[in-house]
Chains A and B, each alone.
Chain A
Amino acid sequence: MPELNIVEKVIALEGVELLSSLTPEQLARIATIAHEEKFPPNRVIVDPAKPLDALYVIVDGAVELSRNGEVLHTAHQNEVLGAWALFEENDSMPVSARTVEDTRLLSIGRDDFYDLLADNSEITSAIFSTLVKRFRKLVEQ
């Protein structure tokens, strides 16, 4: 399977709620720091015992999320793992994530992400806007 090009990466990133306020070109800048990773079935991607320092977007394949052996959800194409890991340093996810078939992911590392934000204030502002909207929604609930 060929590597994803920048347009395909942007199409995958369009589904990430955290990035929903970004313009296509801003997503393209995020895409430049998004790395493609391929995993065979039954590979642990997220371990609750280890801190998570990246966000993952499922490009194709499926990932099973479980806690204490109980399967909570099977994530498929365009779903996101660890969206908030970008903002919480040395934090872990309360669930484990394991591939159930050949799976291709896009990963965005926290350090790369912050370097990009430092260089693109308009992206920072758009992400802030999404966070504020989400926060307001939670408060209203």
Chain B
Amino acid sequence: MTRFNALRRHLFDIRSGEHLRAWAMFSYLLFVLFAYYIVKPVSRAMFLTKFDIDKLPSLYILIAIFGGALAYLYSKLAAKTSLRNAVLWAMSLSVASLVVMWWFIRMRLPFMIYVLNIWVSLFSVVSVSQGWLVASNLFDTREAKRLYPLLGMGMVMGAAFGGEFTNRTAQLVGTENLLLASAFMVVLAYISFRLAIWRVAAPVVHARAAGETDTDFSFSELIRDIVRVRHLQIIVGMMVVMYLVDTLVEYQFQATARMDYTGDRLTAFFGQFYGIYLNGVEFLFQLFVTSLVVRWFGVGGTLQIAPIAVALSSIATVAAPGVTSASAVRLAEASTRYTLNKTGMELLYMPLPLELRNRIKAFIDICVDRLSRGVGGVLLVVLTTTSLNLGVKGIAIVVIGLCIPWMLLSYMARKEYVASVRRRLSSRRLDLQTTRVSVTDTATIRMLESAARSDNPRQAVYALELLADTDAYDMRPMLKDLSGSPLPEIRDKVYLVAARRRLDDLLETAMYEIRAAQAAGGAARAAVVYALALAPDRARLAEELLEDSNPLLVDAALEGIRSDRELAETLISKEWLDRMAAEEDPRKRALAAVAIGVRGDQGTEALHRLLQDADTTVAAAACRAAGILHNRSYLFAVVQALGNPRLRGDAITALAAFGPYITGVLAGFVWDEGMPLRVRRHIPRVLKRIPDQQSVDALLGLLKHPDLSVRAAVLKALNHIRLAAPELRFDSVFVTEQILGEARYYFELNAALAPFLEYRDGRRAASRLLARSIEQRLRESLERLFRLLGLRYPPREIYSAYLAVSRSHSGDSAAALEFLDSILERDLKRILLPLLDAPEHLLERGRELFGVEVKGAEEAIRDLIGCRDPWLVACAMAAAAELHLRNLATDIARAAAEAAEEVSEVARSAEAVLAA
């Protein structure tokens, strides 16, 4: 039974809530094709009996002319009415036309045979096209991929039943009376359509082929759509070549048949060929091949099979022209066109925006189809009636030649399909980019000058920054004016700009600013940096400031001489450092750390002590100094600072400043059980700041770390580096192994969750907590899976896909899954897509793929008690106690012996309950 279900799902995966829609659409297409395959053999047999084969190209051309006109009219109608009304009108007119034509044909009017043939070819295109348009509004991309093969099978069965019905009843009821049977099938098709749209969302029921504003679109607008969208161009290109080939192959087939058969034998031959051989092959294809081919080869591969099959079978016609070989080509061409090619082409439409798809699809299907056949008719006239005078063999060679661009276009279709899905996914991301005002004209400069002199310090500072970036602008008058501003933010910016531009006009006001400096500082810090950059006696000034009692001025002086190592070594003596490092005031001890960063640590051990300082401002300054000095003797202390939230930011910056040569040591710390976990799980944040191959290698090695919080941090770091430095190598074999391992863990967790689903919203608190905790682990595992995928595939698109999948918005989710389906390798796709796309079959897929079996509550809890996740172990122990699972007492005791104190406490409580 399980195998049967698996096979059924492989072939047609219809899910809960989809049955009515799927089967009604199946019936809709079945009855439409049933109706068509009654009128098709009838109309062709009547034509070939009444006229010679050389009239056939003219029929193709007439179909093209009338087809083009009808396509335009239909597009207008479809745009002005709802899809539901369009179907109603098309079906009503079809029934009426069939009855009227039946009546005229009974009056033996020869022109009616032409009318019937034209009408038949248009009927098939309009009604089938409408059917697929309805389907594309009823199903999203993922549903379509699963269900379209079923709908295609409905078409194949309808065609087979129709052909066979005609074959067996023509002589009984009379050929022309079969038209009434066809009308009845159209009525059944309409009933199926109404069932398909019953209870579906209003937008689907009322979908239009174009929006309100597009109701007046013209032929030129439709052409413009095709010119604008490359995806449509490829679809059109493929359809043109495909229908050219179809016309030539059909001609070959009918010409060879007409040579061997006439009258009733010809009708019987057509009925047998279409009803039994062609539809038998199509049925088998659709039942066993199409779904598998789409799954294995994707859209592009599916579309390539038809041209290859036609080209190969045409070689046989070249070698031995005749009805047998021509029938074989027709069989290969028509069977692949109605199965693989039809499904592939419909999927090819799916990534297009719905509005564009609705507007253009009917037009392309009808117009391009008819026009291509018309061109095919002209081509046939040229090939058969001019000096070329090609026979069946010559036409077969032309067919082989046309198959080459067809194959090329199907290859391009694959690439364009993936690109369109990717574009659709990316368009949901908003990329904000910072923009910078370009100061080029006088009006802008006047506006900025005005803003710089305003009372709004934020605006003034920004305006000054922009003016300073303008090389040709003379800043002196502006800076001189603003150096007297009452707002310290503006004065601060004035000194910074003056220092950058090396303008020495402000030295006097800067010295005044320094002398007037209070504890808060105003703009004194910027004034000191400016003065030490430009003052003629800067060494003396720096020496004075280093001895100032105001720590702010000392700090500013250190900043001012940072770029002059020689001066710093002269002015900052070991004695000065020792004195400052021993000060009670933590601000001064912090200055000692800053000074070591400026002059170096030669001859002093003070920085080791300062790194251990109890005051976090001192320790943070020491971390920064260690980062500047790159001295590995401070490494351990700085790493330990990662455990203190108040030092962590500085510690990360300092460690990152050491660069790639400490990556191995840092990775070693992560594995060091002696180092607290709260320190170790922040080390990946350091490594991500070092975008180097050594960091990548170190982080990949850490992916095997048993602690989930460490693994999560490692993955975040790897994703960050992948974005920042895409040129680095991420061992794809290793990453794939990790993806498969994570997928297996996901399936295992899902199986472990199964026995507790009933407790998820229940009153058993511990069991409920266990269920919620496993669900949370599943969400985390899913995130890790996508993060791992981001190391192998385009990270931004993978992230978008993750958001779409995790937020469970069906439209986005379908697009995301379609994207993954397009880019993932087959081995990964086989494992990951069922995990994401078929939650109701997860347990079954886990069993099939990894042999993961669902266990009862007791066995599942036993496994969880033995796992390496302390939180799940604790929850499992509590659940065991709550469910009175006495058999687990030994397991709990065993696990408690090796567990941390918090888990052991839970174990003791559980043991007490179980012993009671």
Contacts and interface: CB of A to CB of B under 8 A. Distances in A.
Interface of A: 2-3, 5-8, 10-11, 14, 23-25, 28, 32, 115, 118-119
A23 B878 CA distance: 17
Contact of B772 (A3, A24, A115): A24
Given A6-B874, A24-B871, A32-B902, A11 B765 contact: yes
Interface stretch (B9-17, B655-663, B905-913): B905-913
Given A24-B875, A119-B645, A14 B909 contact: no
Nearest to A23: B776
A118 B769 contact: no
Given A10-B769, A11-B769, A28-B871, A5 B902 contact: yes
Given A14-B769, A25-B871, 14 more contacts: A2-B909, A5-B905, A5-B909, A6-B902, A6-B903, A6-B905, A7-B909, A8-B909, A23-B773, A24-B769, A28-B871, A32-B902, A119-B645, A119-B678
A10 to B, nearest CB: 6
B766 interface: yes
B906 A6 contact: yes
A5 B906 contact: yes
A11 B765 CA distance: 7
B646 interface: yes
A129 to B, nearest CB: 15
A28 B773 CA distance: 11
8 contacts: A5-B878, A5-B909, A6-B902, A6-B906, A7-B766, A8-B878, A14-B765, A23-B773
Interface of A is mostly: helix
A25 B875 CA distance: 10
Contacts of B909: 2, 5, 7-8
B776 A7 contact: no
B806 to A, nearest CB: 14
Interface in B865-909: 871, 874-875, 877-878, 902-903, 905-906, 908-909
Nearest to A12: B765
Interface string B843-878: 000000000000000000000000000010011011
B883 to A, nearest CB: 14
Nearest to A32: B902
- List of 3 A-B pairs having minimum Cβ-Cβ separation, nearest first: A118-B645, A7-B878, A5-B905
Interface centre among A3, A6, A7 (most CB of B within 10 A): A7
Nearest to A116: B645
Contacts of A115: 645
Interface in B538-584: none
Contacts of B906: 5-7
Contacts of B765: 11, 14
Contacts of B776: 23-25
Nearest to A26: B776
A7 B874 contact: yes
Interface in B751-769: 765-766, 769
Nearest to B871: A25
Interface string B353-393: 00000000000000000000000000000000000000000
Contacts of A32: 902
A14 B773 CA distance: 12
A2 B871 CA distance: 21
A8 B678 CA distance: 24
A25 B871 CA distance: 7
A24 B773 contact: yes
